[in-house]
Amino acid sequence: MKIITVAGARPNFMKIAPLMEAFAAEPSIEPMLVHTGQHYDERMSDLFFRQLGIPQPDVNLGVGSGSHATQTAAIMTAFEPIVLAEKPDAVLVVGDVNSTIACGMVAVKLGVKLIHVEAGLRSGDRTMPEEINRILTDSISDLLFVTEKSGRENLLREGVDPARIHVVGNVMIDTLLKNRAKAEASTILAELGLDGQPYAALTLHRPANVDDPVILGGLLDALEAISRDMVIVFPIHPRTRKNIDGSPLAARVAGMANLRLIDPLGYLEFLKLTSSARIVLTDSGGIQEETTILQVPCLTLRENTERPITAEVGSNRIVGTDPQKILAAYREAMSGTGRKPAIPDLWDGQAARRIAKILVKVL
Ligand code: UD1
C-alpha cells in the first residue's frame, strides 16, 4: 500500500514526523514523502527535518512563495505528474495550508484516495485562507482523522458520512511529547540571557493581523504595556518581518527595548521557549494546542479559534486584537486565579500509531 504524505509549510512538519515514523513501522505501508517547497528557508523547513528526524523528502516540488492562486496552481501542476508516475493507493495531507488543498485536489481528480489528518476544525471565519482550505479539503477527503470532538461535530453537521470520520488525537502533540526532554536541554534561554527570568513569548503571522497596519499598531499598544512588566521574545515570521521592515511601525518596534525580535527558532528551541514562558501570546493555531499540553497560559490574538477544546479545557483565552481586551486578559492570566487546565482526550502521544493501524485496516 503506497501512501504519499505531503508537507509544505512549517506547521506541517511536526505533524508528519510521527506519521512517517508510524508508517515505517507498518510492513504493509510503503511510505513516500513529497515536500511542496511552500516554505523553503533553512529556518522554516530544513531545520525541522533535522531536529525531528524526518526522512529526506523523496521529491521536493520547490514551488516557493506567490499569491494564493499562483502558489496553489504551481503546487497542483508540479504534484500531478508525481501522482501519475507513482500511482499511490492514497495521498495523505495534514493541516490547512495551501499545499493541503492543492495536493488534495490533484489526488481526488486522479481517482486516488485522500486522507486528511487534522480534519473538521472550523473557525467559522471565511476570511481566513486556512478556513477555506479546511472546508474544501474535508469535503473531498475519503478518510478524515480528527483531533478534538468539535471536529467530528462540524463534519457531521456538514453531512460527512460518520464511517469516514475517526477521532484519533493529535499528531502535533505526539511530536511535542516525544521531544519534550530533548527541548529541555536547549540552551536558548541562556543564549537570550533569560535563564530564570520571567518573560512572555510572542508569535504573529496571520495576514489579518500583520498585513493591516492599524491592527498591528493596536497589537503593539498592548505589547508595549506588557513589555513594561517583562521581556517579550518574538521569533518573527518572514511575512511579519517584511511587513514591519520599511513601514512606519519599524521605528516603534525598534524603540521598544523589552520587545526582542529574533529569527525564527528551531522546533526544540521554540518548545523550550514556550514551555518556560510566563505567558504566550500568539495568532497561531498549533501553539494554542501546544500551550494546552504545556499548561502555560495562552492569549490568542484572534477573534475566533478552530480549536475550541483548548479554551474549553485548557489555558487558552481567545482575546481578539483590541489592546484593552488583551491587557485585561493578560492581567487575569497573570493573577493565576484560573482553573487548572486539563488534557484533551487522546492527546497522549499515540495519534500517529492509531492512524497507521486504521489505514492498514481500512484501505
Ligand atoms: C503559511 C500558511 C499558514 C501557516 C503558516 C505558518 C497558507 C495559506 N498559509 O502562511 O496557514 O500558519 O504558513 O508559517 O498556506 N516566506 C519566506 N520564507 C519561507 C516561506 C515564506 O520568506 O520559507 C515569506 C515570503 O515572503 C512569502 C510569505 O512569507 O511570500 C508568506 O508565505 P506563504 O507560504 O504564502 O504563507 P505563510 O504566511 O507562511
Query: What is the β-pairing status of strands 259-262 and 279-282?
Result: unpaired
* Residue ID of nearest Cα to ligand 1 atom 14: 10
Q: Give CA–CA dist 323/306, Å, rounded.
A: 22
Q: Using CB atoms within 10 A of its CB, is residue 133 exposed (0-12), middle (13-18) or buried (19+)?
A: buried
Active site (catalytic) residues: 205
Is the CB of residue 38 below 6 angstroms from any atom belonging to ligand 1? yes
Is the CB of residue 74 below 6 angstroms from any atom belonging to ligand 1? no
Within the chain, residue ranges assigned H as helices are 10-24, 46-52, 68-86, 98-109, 129-140, 149-157, 171-184, 188-191, 207-210, 213-226, 238-244, 249-255, 267-275, 286-294, 309-312, 323-335, 351-362
* Residue ID of nearest Cα to ligand 1 atom 32: 65
Angle 50-271-23 from CA coordinates, rounded to 5°: 45
Q: Which atom of ligand 1 is nearest to the CA of 45?
A: 23
For ligand 1, the distance from its centroid to the CA atom of residue 127, given in whole angstroms, is 16
For ligand 1, the distance from its centroid to the CA atom of residue 310, given in whole angstroms, is 24
Is the CB of residue 131 below 6 angstroms from any atom belonging to ligand 1? no
262 within 8 A of 233, measured Cβ to Cβ: yes
Q: Which atom of ligand 1 is nearest to the CA of 133?
A: 8
Whether residue 337 is predicted with pLDDT greater than 90 in this model: the reply is no
Going along the chain from its start, the domains and CATH numbers come out as 2-170+347-362 (3.40.50.2000), 181-335 (3.40.50.2000)
pLDDT for res 339: 67
Whether residue 182 is predicted with pLDDT greater than 90 in this model: the reply is yes
* Residue ID of nearest Cα to ligand 1 atom 33: 65
Over range 19-37, report the average pLDDT.
98
Is the CB of residue 297 below 6 angstroms from any atom belonging to ligand 1? no
For ligand 1, the distance from its centroid to the CA atom of residue 39, given in whole angstroms, is 6
- pLDDT tens string 255-272: 999 999 999 999 999 999
Q: Which of 308, 301, 264 is nearest to 282 (CA)?
A: 301
Q: Give CA–CA dist 236/284, Å, rounded.
A: 12
Q: Which atom of ligand 1 is nearest to the CA of 237?
A: 14
pLDDT for res 338: 64
Whether residue 147 is predicted with pLDDT greater than 70 in this model: the reply is yes
Least confident range of 116-130, 236-250, 258-272, 338-352: 338-352
pLDDT for res 336: 77
In the structure, how many helices (H) and strands (E) does the chain have? 17, 13
For ligand 1, the distance from its centroid to the CA atom of residue 187, given in whole angstroms, is 27
Over range 171-181, report the average pLDDT.
98
Is the CB of residue 43 below 6 angstroms from any atom belonging to ligand 1? no
**DSSP H or E run through 312:** helix 309-312
204 within 8 A of 219, measured Cβ to Cβ: yes
Query: How many CA atoms within 13 Å lie on the side-chain side of 15?
Result: 29
Is the CB of residue 97 below 6 angstroms from any atom belonging to ligand 1? yes
Q: How many residues does the chain have?
A: 363
pLDDT for res 293: 96
Could you tell me what percent of the chain has a pLDDT over 90? 97
Is the CB of residue 64 below 6 angstroms from any atom belonging to ligand 1? no
For ligand 1, the distance from its centroid to the CA atom of residue 10, given in whole angstroms, is 8
Is the CB of residue 239 below 6 angstroms from any atom belonging to ligand 1? yes
Q: In what order do the strands lie in the sheet with 298-300?
A: 259-262, 231-235, 199-203, 279-282, 298-300, 316-318
Q: What is the DSSP letter of 339?
A: P
Whether residue 102 is predicted with pLDDT greater than 70 in this model: the reply is yes
310 within 8 A of 316, measured Cβ to Cβ: yes
Whether residue 180 is predicted with pLDDT greater than 70 in this model: the reply is yes
Beta bridge pairs of residue 33:
5
Q: What is the pTM of this model?
A: 0.97
Mutational test site, ligand 1, from 97, 103, 136, max ligand atoms within 8 Å of CB: 97
Q: Which atom of ligand 1 is nearest to the CA of 100?
A: 15
Is the CB of residue 205 below 6 angstroms from any atom belonging to ligand 1? yes
Q: Which atom of ligand 1 is nearest to the CA of 206?
A: 38
Q: Which atom of ligand 1 is nearest to the CA of 66?
A: 30
